Amino acid sequence: MPQYRAAVIGLGRMGSTFDDEITQGGSIFLPYCHAPSYVAAPNVELVAGSDIHKEQGEIFRARWGLEDGHVYTDYREMLEKERPDLLSICTTARVRSEIVIEAARAGVKAIWAEKPIAFSLQEADEMVRVCDSEGTKLAVNCARRWNPFFAEARRMIDEGEFGRILQITGYGQCGLSHNGSHLIDILRYMAGGEVQWVFGEMESDEAAGGESDLMGNGYLAFDNGVRTYLRGMPCGSANWEIDVVCEQGRFKSCENSQGPELYRLVEGGPRGRRVQAKVPFPYPARVQGTGLTIVDDLISSVEDDHDPRCSGRDGLAALEIAIALRASHRGGGVRIDLPLEDRSLKIQSQETFQDDVPARVRREMAR
């Protein structure tokens, strides 16, 4: 079996220790984050890490048993000396585009980057272009695409079990760039098409006028006729739910992917017009850790030359839709067609707030 060398840049929670915080089951299947997924994969060796914060590097080295000299403060030095095949980039979006581009040019075979893909459309365009030209596979960690419940629902839709999709509604209070990457991407994945135009409403005129991350709602029109509603403002009891309504059935992901529900139209009801009946969801007999599913997909994309399930283009599309929704509000609620002409447009993802101090350190200071 081929062996792959893996490394991580950005050694904070998602790069290294997020899984150590998980004490109860739910929609997160371990291993989930980057380092433990590489360690658990039978055909991968975690060989190195890099972080500008030395204390994070030491925690990473001790946690994953790396020998001295394999944790770096300069990622360029790490790329040159370690020559990883697989690379995770878990920094903030402020520097992600630069690192992705340099890693692709350094010969990395596949990159697993955190979301959002970048600040600006121009940055994201260049990331996709360079990875294509260098033959590097780029995956963006909108992890719901690798969730077994969404994947099973997508399979049933593709095989025609529910008929044509009519509408999808997604609820998730979020900044449209940061966790909005997840919300927008899962709507795209379930819709199975490309967004042609949008209407958007942001949390305020003031927020819409700036470049910082912001909450908002939207209406998305897809090229295959699917229509979706997105609520990124407070959602009350429906937070992080996805509702896919089809001609002959319905899939609902409730409680942030913890409660998948399936409905079909059956004979009966008033005047014989058929009624909606809840049926058992086909749970898998075994659930593989999400991170292992992603690593398998990365390796398959390299060996079989296909895009990862959430590719760089998918990450770019999520960012472009978020920016288009904001542009709609700026124009007074007008329709915005995609693709956007102005590629300099950007949203500064909220995870970059105070990113000069690691999130782990900020949490400790707040206690």
Q: Is residue 365 part of a domain?
A: no
Could you list the residue range(s) of the whole structural domain that residue 137 is in? Answer: 4-144+290-311
Provide the number of structural domains found in the chain: 2
- From the number of C-beta atoms within 10 Å of its C-beta (0-12, 13-18, 19+), residue 307 rates as middle
Q: Are both 182 and 131 inside the same structural domain?
A: no
- Residue 364, pLDDT score: 65
73 and 10 share one domain: yes
Let me know how many helices (H) and strands (E) the chain has, helices first. 11, 15
Does residue 344 form part of some domain?
no
Give the pLDDT confidence score for residue 289 in this predicted structure: 97
Give me the pLDDT at residue 258, please. Answer: 87
Residues 223 and 123 in one domain: no
* Residue 177 sits in the same domain as residue 245: yes
Give bridge partners of residue 140 from the DSSP assignment: 113
Query: What pLDDT is recorded for position 27?
Result: 82
| Residue 38 sits in the same domain as residue 156 | no
Asked if residue 235 is part of any domain, the answer here is yes
Report the alpha-carbon distance of residue 107 to residue 350 in Å, rounded: 31
Query: In terms of domains, do 294 and 277 share one?
Result: no
Give domain status of residue 171, yes or no.
yes
pLDDT reported for residue 357: 76
Q: What is the pLDDT of residue 313?
A: 98
Centre a 10 Å sphere on the Cβ of residue 152 and count the other Cβ atoms it contains: 17
pTM recorded for the entire structure:
0.96
* Pair (280, 295) in one structural domain: no
Q: Retrieve residue 339's tokens.
A: 């693709």
241 CB-near residues (< 8 Å, 6+ apart): 170, 171, 172, 235, 252, 253, 254, 255, 256
Residues of the chain with pLDDT under 50: none
Q: What is the pLDDT of residue 2?
A: 67
366 inside domain: no
Q: Are residues 64 and 129 in the same domain?
A: yes
Asked if residue 294 and residue 168 are part of one domain, the reply reads: no
If asked whether residues 65 and 191 sit together in one domain, one would say no
Tell me whether residue 64 is in a domain. yes
CATH number at residue 195: 3.30.360.10
| Same domain? 131 vs 260 | no
Q: Are residues 302 and 274 located together in one domain of the fold?
A: no
Length of the chain, in residues: 367
- Domain annotation covers residue 120: yes
Cα separation values, 70 from 46, 54, 64, Å: 10, 13, 11
